[in-house]
Structure 1
Amino acid sequence: MTNAAFEELVATFEFLDDWEDRYRHVIDMGRAMDPLEDALRVPATKVDGCASQVWLVPQIKDDVFTFRGESDAMIVRGLIAVLRTLYDDQPVSEVVKIDASAALGRLGLNDHLSAQRSNGLRAMVDRIRQTAAAAL
């Protein structure tokens, strides 16, 4: 089950006919995120398995999951923004139940990302799920 923000993103993707427009939208989403402070770009927050440099900083407050992230690649930064749309402000117990593969498949990302980007996206999802599972 996905939230209203993600459903809105799905609707936007359905409206955008061209994959170049969709990529541009994802990149714009990444550009709109606040940058991650240098002090948070440390080995503990770095996500292994990504071709690009990726850092995720989760926060759980009052059983609600949020995270911030950063990447040195614009498309990956956009993918972080997509994952924030999917996972942010969800109860921790729901985060572990979200079928990210199915949700992201609704955006068509599975078919339009390189193998390296897909592996990196899976690594980010795994980190998010592990963090949430550890908090339960």
Structure 2
Amino acid sequence: MELNSTELRIIFDQLSNWQDRYRHIIQLAKVLPNFPEEQRIISNQIEGCENKVWLTYKKNSKQILTFTGDSEGRIVKGLLAIIIILANNKTAEQIAQTDFLFELKAFKIIDELSQSRQLGLYNIIQRIKLLASNH
């Protein structure tokens, strides 16, 4: 994934209204790499999301985590991409200290989402934090 959290912040700061942010969320869905079909298994699936969401990760020798994921829905996939960008290339400790919801509020995203999408985002964040803390 090419973008980092600073670049993402700059992009969202330039978007003046919800329609522009919404369109950009859909575009971000396209930055996620292709998710292997064999990884679309129950153990990689995140419960409590509007659409099916899968998440996997790798940890390198320096304890840096890299997440990949996919969703059946474009909006959810774009939101997943944002969360992955915020989590990638960090240690478990850095992920534990990341306030994902604060970032989403700063991007002016979270308040525009339905309650069910907010709950789904919360479940994605919790899964990332759980995976990071367990490994």
Please give the TM-score of this superposition, normalised by the length of structure 2: 0.92
Offset of 1:69 from its aligned partner?
Answer: 0.4
Q: What are the residue-to-residue correspondences of 1:1-136 with 2, within 5 Å?
A: 5-62=4-61, 63-135=63-135
Query: CA-atom RMSD, angstroms?
Result: 1.3
Name segments (4+ residues, structure 1) moved above 6 Å: none
Offset of 1:32 from its aligned partner?
Answer: 2.4
Which string of whole-angstrom CA distances, capped at 9 and with x for unpartnered residues, describes residues 12-43 of structure 1?
Answer: 11111121111111111111222211100000
Read off the aligned partner of 2:101 and give its amino acid letter. S
Read off the aligned partner of 1:112 and give its amino acid letter. E
State the identity %.
Answer: 29
Structure-1 separation of matches of 2:13 and 2:33: 26
Structure-2 separation of matches of 1:80 and 1:101: 13
Could you say what secondary structure the match of 1:59 adopts?
Answer: strand
Unaligned runs of 5+ in 2: none
Offset of 1:7 from its aligned partner?
Answer: 2.2
Tell me how many residue pairs correspond in the alignment.
132
Structure-2 separation of matches of 1:8 and 1:108: 15
Offset of 1:82 from its aligned partner?
Answer: 0.3
Please give the TM-score of this superposition, normalised by the length of structure 1: 0.92
Which string of whole-angstrom CA distances, capped at 9 and with x for unpartnered residues, describes residues 35-87 of structure 1?
Answer: 21110000000000111100001111220011100000000110111012101
Could you say what secondary structure the match of 1:44 adopts?
Answer: helix
